[in-house]
């Protein structure tokens, strides 16, 4: 039952994070804030219970949810076919309140593709056709579960928010990620992109953890380098780091 206690503790940490983030307010140009671990909590819970149930060799960390991935499914980088067909997760998804009219949450009925998630989970599912083989040694978490949107529907990433607004967010998210580091006890932590890597370095330093920290190129379509062949680049980086 040791494995159950790890996932249960991560679930408790997730609930604590949710409570800390709920009352926070954000000024213009942010008009809407979604928290998928709240309205898509059922899928998020299954993801944790099924896959965060043992110590890991490698912990990957992303930044925050994308509008067509985790925002719809509650699973990090949650491209729908990867979550539904590869991981076997498909739970009922509620609605954020308020909901942006241009960014509706329709859960697993969403027909748009989350390119970052398609690339990331595509690489891992290609290497590990059985998800249990991947999750035996690896796990993926997002630094922050919040999605910030402007009035027009444009996504606003955490690095674009004022430092004063991000201070309580960072405090809550640092604690949440720190709990993952304690419980999953990874040998390697890998930031998906520079922002995540910098967060991991800060948390490891604060906790005085001796971790191997690395980075893979972010799979976002906004990155020209990622569009030139992300899977090959990421696999090469993981090989050079010594993970693959």
pLDDT in tens, 31-82: 999 999 999 999 999 999 999 999 999 999 999 999 999 999 999 999 999 9
Do residues 41 and 85 make contact, with C-beta atoms less than 8 angstroms apart? no
Return d(Cα 163, Cα 138) in angstroms, integer.
Answer: 32
Do residues 52 and 71 make contact, with C-beta atoms less than 8 angstroms apart? no
pLDDT, mean of residues 195-209: 96
pTM of structure: 0.96
> What per-residue confidence (pLDDT) applies to 4?
57
Q: Is 167 exposed, middle or buried (0-12, 13-18, 19+ CB in 10 A)?
A: exposed
How would you classify residue 185: left for phi > 0, otherwise alpha for psi between -120 and 50, otherwise beta? left
> What per-residue confidence (pLDDT) applies to 1?
43
* CA dist 16 → 35, 62, 121, 179, 205 (Å): 13, 20, 27, 11, 23
pLDDT over threshold 50, residue 3:
no
> What per-residue confidence (pLDDT) applies to 48?
98
Phi, psi of 197 (to 5 degrees): -60, -45
Return d(Cα 77, Cα 113) in angstroms, integer.
Answer: 11
The alpha carbon dihedral of 222, 27, 21, 44 has a sign of negative
Do residues 190 and 214 make contact, with C-beta atoms less than 8 angstroms apart? yes
Phi, psi of 33 (to 5 degrees): -130, 120
Do residues 171 and 41 make contact, with C-beta atoms less than 8 angstroms apart? no
CA angle 47, 34, 76 (to 5 degrees): 25
> What per-residue confidence (pLDDT) applies to 244?
86
* CA dist 222 → 70, 143, 234 (Å): 18, 19, 16
Residue with tokens 């949710």: 18
pLDDT, mean of residues 204-230: 95
Average pLDDT, the chain: 96
pLDDT tens for each residue of 151-174: 999 999 999 999 999 999 999 999
The HSE-up count of residue 25 (CA atoms within 13 Å, CB side) is 2
> What per-residue confidence (pLDDT) applies to 66?
93
CATH architecture of 2-239: 3-Layer(aba) Sandwich (3.40)
pLDDT over threshold 50, residue 138:
yes
């Amino acid at each position: 039952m040791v494995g159950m206690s790890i996932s249960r503790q991560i679930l408790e940490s997730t609930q604590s994070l949710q409570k800390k983030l709920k009352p926070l307010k954000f000024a213009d140009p942010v008009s809407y804030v979604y928290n998928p671990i709240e309205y898509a909590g059922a899928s998020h819970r299954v993801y944790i219970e099924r896959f965060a149930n043992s110590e890991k060799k490698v912990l990957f960390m992303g930044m925050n949810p994308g509008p067509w991935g985790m925002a719809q499914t509650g699973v990090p980088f949650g491209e729908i076919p990867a979550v539904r067909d590869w991981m076997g997760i498909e739970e009922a998804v509620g609605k954020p309140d308020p909901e942006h009219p241009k960014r509706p949450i329709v859960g697993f009925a969403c027909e748009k593709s989350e390119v970052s998630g398609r690339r990331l989970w595509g690489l891992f599912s290609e290497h590990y056709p059985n998800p249990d083989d991947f999750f035996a040694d690896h796990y993926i978490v997002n630094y922050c579960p919040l999605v910030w949107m402007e009035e027009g529907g444009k996504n606003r990433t955490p690095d674009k928010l004022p430092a004063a607004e991000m201070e309580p967010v960072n405090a809550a998210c640092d604690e949440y990620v720190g709990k993952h580091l304690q419980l999953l006890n990874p040998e390697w932590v890998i930031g998906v992109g520079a922002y995540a890597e910098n967060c991991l370095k800060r948390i490891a330093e604060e906790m005085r953890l001796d971790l191997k920290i690395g980075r893979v190129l972010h799979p976002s379509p906004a990155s020209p380098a990622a569009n030139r062949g992300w899977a090959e680049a990421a696999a090469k980086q993981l090989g050079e780091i010594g993970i693959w």
